[in-house]
Chains A and B, each alone.
Chain A
Amino acid sequence: AQSVTQLDSHVSVSEGTPVLLRCNYSSSYSPSLFWYVQHPNKGLQLLLKYTSAATLVKGINGFEAEFKKSETSFHLTKPSAHMSDAAEYFCVVSDRYSGTYKYIFGTGTRLKVLA
């Protein structure tokens, strides 16, 4: 079965410093991976996705993620954090061989950005 592990439940960074949110996946097949962000009282918004094309994926708001098969990782990064990046971030794997492609979510990482 597919699964994702988000290694940090909380991450704090100062505004203007780099962001790194870690995600490892487990999959028997070539996975489709996603990062979603959830701001308070908002729905889940797609940041970026990997679907077996380029391993370095660029998303919205300056975020990017690199798919590393050898490390089974899909870490999310951003060079310079903004206050507006404070939110909860979810790493998601799409379960590919189970009929419909349901999402398997990680436990989430809450990002705090300090002024």
Chain B
Amino acid sequence: EPEVTQTPSHQVTQMGQEVILHCVPISNHLYFYWYRQILGQKVEFLVSFYNNEISEKSEIFDDQFSVERPDGSNFTLKIRSTKLEDSAMYFCASSESGGAGYEQYFGPGTRLTVT
């Protein structure tokens, strides 16, 4: 069964550094998403992406963050000048369509630790 993959599974970085989190969505999906879960808190929406542009972003997704689909398979989340509070599990998801009834398929997540 097709699945969303994410690399790395765990990333440790120093405060102020830039990180790029990688995702390979399911191949025929058109909508892509990033969510994050700070330890002990709920999963929060960051951004959605369709047709090579951001469809919607949350208040969390400020200028520190960016997303890119550099080729036909990868979908990346870049975090510039990381802060301690960026430590979280980051989930990538994809869906076949953007309609309400279309489920999103999630990757296993990347745990980002900022020291």
Binding site for B on A (CB under 8 A): 32, 34, 36, 41-46, 49, 51-52, 90, 94, 96, 98-108
Rounded to whole angstroms, the CA-CA distance of A32 and B104 in the bound complex is 12
B43 touches A49 (CB 8 A): no
Q: State in angstroms the CA–CA spacing of A51 and B100 once bound together.
A: 8
Chain A residues closer than 8 Å to B98, beta-carbon distance: 100-101
What 1/0 flags go to B2-23 for Cβ under 8 Å of A?
0110000000000000000000
- Which of A98, A103, A107, A108 contacts B104 (CB under 8 A)? A103
Nearest to B105 among chain A residues (CB) is: A46
Contact status B108-A105, CB under 8 Å? no
- B43 near A90 with CB under 8 A, answer yes
- Pair B104/A43 contact, Cβ less than 8 Å: no
Evaluate contact between A43 and B103: CB separation under 8 angstroms.
no
Cα A44 to Cα B36 in complex, Å, equals 12
> How many residue pairs, one in A and one in B, have C-beta atoms under 8 Å apart?
64
Q: Which of chain A's residues have a CB closer than 8 A to the CB of B104?
A: 103
Report the separation of the CA atoms of residues A96 and B98 in the bound assembly, to the nearest whole angstrom. 10
Does B65 touch A at the CB level, under 8 Å?
no
Residues of B within 8 A of A43 (CB): 3-4, 91, 106-109
Asked if B72 is an interface residue, CB under 8 A from chain A, the answer is no
B109 vs chain A, min Cβ distance (A): 6
Given that A43-B108, A104-B45, A106-B42 are contacting pairs, would A98 and B103 also be in contact in the complex, using a CB cutoff of 8 Å? no
- A34-B103, A100-B55, A102-B56 known; A42+B43 contact, CB < 8 A: no
B108 touches A42 (CB 8 A): yes
Most buried by A among B42, B43, B50, B55: B43
